[in-house]
Amino acid sequence: MAHIDLGNDLPGIRGPMAYRPETARPLNALAEILLRDDNNTLSRGERELIGTYVSSLNDCFFCQNVHGGLAQHYLGCDMPFIDAVKRDPVSTPISDKLKTLLSIAASVQKGGKNVRPEQIEAARQQGATDREIHDTVLIAAAFCMYNRYVDGLATWAPQDRQFYVDRAPIRAAEGYADFDLYK
């Protein structure tokens, strides 16, 4: 049971978002710009993978499965692939550039000061742009917010992971901005 009376039975972040729509709007607008906006040289799948990885490091079940489902949808891979990235990105066949960006994201998850100049340099050597480095840091920081919002209020999450995979295509089609929280 959630720590406060949300007045609805919605899972995960949708519960507190429906409870306080005023703050839900910019929260969703930020997700849309960072994760789904096509004016970005990182693919939607790559950006969702960053969100999934950070949510996994924060041990947020709801977020890592919502965004893992979306990453799986965009990348056309399966759940074991997503789980392998969460366990050890370096051992998976993702691009070398994305590996360096996930390393930066993991440092951001621990704390901003953990990001080392060598990690930034490694990302640049793999072709990462300033904007990609910026977005990686902000996506990772944003998930440190979303994960805390979801778990800090003790929201509930469906335990069947296929639930999230099945919902991913509709979220991918509708996006994060202005979607119906009750559907």
Partner 1 sequence: MSYIPLEQHLPGITGLLEYRKDSGAPIRELTQILLRGESTLTAGERELIATVVSSRNECRFCTAAHTAAANILLENTDTVEAVKQDIDTAPVSDKLKTLLHIAALVQISGKAVTAEAITAAKQAGATDREIHDTVLIAALFCLYNRYVDGLATMTPTDPAFYEGLGQRLKQHGYNRLPQGYDHLKTKDNTLKSI
- Given the rule CB under 8 A, which residues bind partner 1? 3-5, 16, 19-20, 22-23, 25-27, 29-30, 33-34, 37, 58-60, 104, 107-108, 111-113, 115, 117, 120, 130-131, 133-135, 137-138, 140-142, 144-154
Return the amino acid letter for 104.
I
Q: Report how far residue 51's alpha carbon sits from residue 62's, in angstroms, rounded to the nearest whole number.
A: 12
Q: Report how far residue 142's alpha carbon sits from residue 134's, in angstroms, rounded to the nearest whole number.
A: 12
Comparing CB distances to partner 1, the nearer of 3 and 183 is: 3
Instruction: Report residue 52 CA to chain centroid gap.
Output: 4
Task: Give the 3-state secondary structure of residue 160.
Answer: coil
Distance in Å, CB of 78 to partner 1, minimum: 28
Comparing CB distances to partner 1, the nearer of 90 and 154 is: 154
Distance in Å, CB of 42 to partner 1, minimum: 13
Comparing CB distances to partner 1, the nearer of 77 and 105 is: 105
- The token pair that represents 67 in the structure block: 């965004």
The position carrying tokens 């742009």 is 129
Crossing angle of helices 130-152 and 61-75, in 10° steps, is 140
Task: Give the 3-state secondary structure of residue 166.
Answer: helix
Return the amino acid letter for 28.
N
Distance in Å, CB of 136 to partner 1, minimum: 9
Distance in Å, CB of 143 to partner 1, minimum: 9
Comparing CB distances to partner 1, the nearer of 21 and 169 is: 21
The position carrying tokens 């993991």 is 106
Comparing CB distances to partner 1, the nearer of 152 and 169 is: 152
Distance in Å, CB of 71 to partner 1, minimum: 20
